[in-house]
């Protein structure tokens, strides 16, 4: 393509030069050169148009490739999060109020636990995204959690089991994005929240969800390609005996002034 345009441009120039130098002598030649000139001009237009089309093609393909790759790399970090959103890495010290062990003699330091998490708050989208690392207490699981205030849903992705659990958002345990942001900004300087306490909640798997594409963008991103289940609070389910043995996993997290231990149990 490039070669052609170069040639045509050159021949055009040559023709022009010929025109100028030969005008007095051979007018017939100049007349003959006229259609050639016109032809080369249309040629030039064709080439230019072709080049423009090719260039736009390359640009569009480039844009697509760029998008594809950025989306791919973002996928690795499991969420598509706008850069402008603040990310908080913060920890909390809390008292382990395990009433089963309260009778036993325990020194205070051993019941004082520490929990660290990464919290992303998307205020515009009304979403909180929480990453719980591998916890430093026994039988707890690392997890990714999404609280979607617009959809009024919470989803837990248990990273040990690679399973997703969805339950209606409990607004009395989860602070709304604006309030949580305020709380975290206020403690940011000190990194740690004021000393806190532990709240227990127990959830039971009720049914398998076949599709997660109706659960909003963020939960879809968290749970797609994972086995996903619906949860219900255990105290709301009749017919399950308190003492009935269930297989339970624990996730400890905080999105309020206290730490919540969510037990997810399979009957
Ligand atoms: C929300 O959580 C609180 C504290 O764990 C609990 O008492 C309440 O029943 C929950 N509400 C719903 C709707 O599940």
Tell how far the Cα of 235 is from the centroid of ligand 1, in angstroms: 10
Could you give the CA distance from residue 223 to residue 82 in angstroms, rounded to a whole number?
A: 19
Note whether 91 and 216 are same-domain residues: yes
Strands (E) located in 1-111: 87-95
194 SS3 class: coil
Can you list the residues of the chain whose pLDDT is less than 50?
1-28, 30, 65-80, 99-109
Q: Domain for residue 67, yes or no?
A: yes
pLDDT for 166? 97
By C-alpha distance, which of 164, 166, 186, 165 is closest to 175?
Answer: 186
68: containing domain: 43-82
Q: SS3 of 199, please?
A: strand
State whether the beta carbon of 171 lies less than 6 angstroms from ligand 1. no
The answer on 179 and 74 residing in a single domain is: no
DSSP state of 256: S
pLDDT in tens, 121-156: 999 999 999 999 988 777 799 999 999 999 999 999
pLDDT value at residue 233: 92
CA of 176 to the centre of ligand 1 (A): 15
Residue 37 domain flag: no
Residues 126 and 75 in one domain: no
Angle at 52 between CA 47 and CA 56, to 5 degrees: 150
Q: Is 2 part of a structural domain of the chain?
A: no
Residue owning tokens 């050159």: 10
Q: What is the pLDDT of residue 86?
A: 77
Task: Provide the domain count of the chain.
Answer: 2
Verify whether ligand 1 is closer than 6 Å to residue 233 (CB atom): yes
Say if residue 225 is in the same domain as residue 204: yes
Nearest CA residue ID for atom 1, ligand 1: 170
126, containing H or E segment: none
Q: Does the Cβ of 172 fall within 6 Å of ligand 1? A: yes
- Tens of pLDDT, residues 178-215: 999 988 887 766 555 667 889 999 999 999 999 999 99
* Same domain (yes/no): 223, 260: yes
d(CA 56, CA 48): 12
- Which atom of ligand 1 lies closest to the CA of 233? 14
Ligand 1 atom with the shortest distance to the CA of 173: 2
The answer to whether 166 and 229 are in contact (CB under 8 A) is: yes
**259 and 129 in a common domain:** yes
Q: Which of 154, 170, 263 gets mutated to test ligand 1 (max ligand atoms within 8 A of its CB)?
A: 170
The reply to whether 190 and 63 lie within a common domain is: no
At residue 16, the pLDDT reads: 45
Q: Is residue 35 part of a domain?
A: no
What is residue 246's predicted lDDT score, i.e. its pLDDT? 76
Give the pLDDT confidence score for residue 189 in this predicted structure.
Answer: 62
Ligand 1 within 6 A of CB of 201: yes
| 135 occurs within a structural domain | yes
């Amino acid at each position: 393509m490039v070669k052609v345009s170069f040639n045509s441009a050159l021949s055009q120039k040559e023709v022009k030069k010929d025109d100028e130098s030969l005008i007095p002598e051979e007018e017939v030649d100049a007349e003959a050169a006229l259609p050639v000139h016109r032809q080369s001009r249309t040629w030039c237009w064709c080439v230019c148009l072709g080049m423009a089309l090719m260039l736009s093609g390359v640009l569009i393909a480039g844009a697509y490739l760029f998008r594809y790759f950025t989306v791919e790399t973002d996928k690795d970090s499991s969420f598509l999060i706008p850069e402008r959103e603040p990310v908080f890495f913060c920890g909390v010290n809390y008292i382990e109020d395990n009433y089963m062990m309260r009778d036993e003699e325990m020194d205070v330091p051993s019941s004082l636990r520490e929990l660290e998490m990464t919290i992303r708050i998307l205020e515009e989208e009304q979403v909180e995204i929480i990453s719980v690392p591998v916890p430093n207490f026994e039988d707890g699981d690392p997890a990714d959690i999404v609280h979607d205030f617009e959809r009024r849903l919470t989803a837990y992705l248990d990273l040990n089991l690679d399973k997703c659990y969805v339950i209606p958002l409990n607004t009395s345990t989860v602070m709304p994005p604006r309030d949580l942001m305020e709380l975290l900004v206020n403690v940011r300087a000190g990194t740690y929240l004021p000393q806190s306490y532990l709240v227990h909640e127990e959830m039971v798997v009720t049914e398998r969800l076949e599709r997660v594409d109706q659960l909003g963008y963020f939960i879809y991103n968290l749970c797609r390609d994972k086995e996903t289940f619906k949860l219900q609070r255990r105290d709301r389910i009749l017919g399950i005996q308190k003492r009935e043995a269930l297989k339970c996993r624990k996730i400890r997290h905080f999105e309020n002034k206290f730490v919540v231990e969510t037990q997810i149990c399979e009957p």
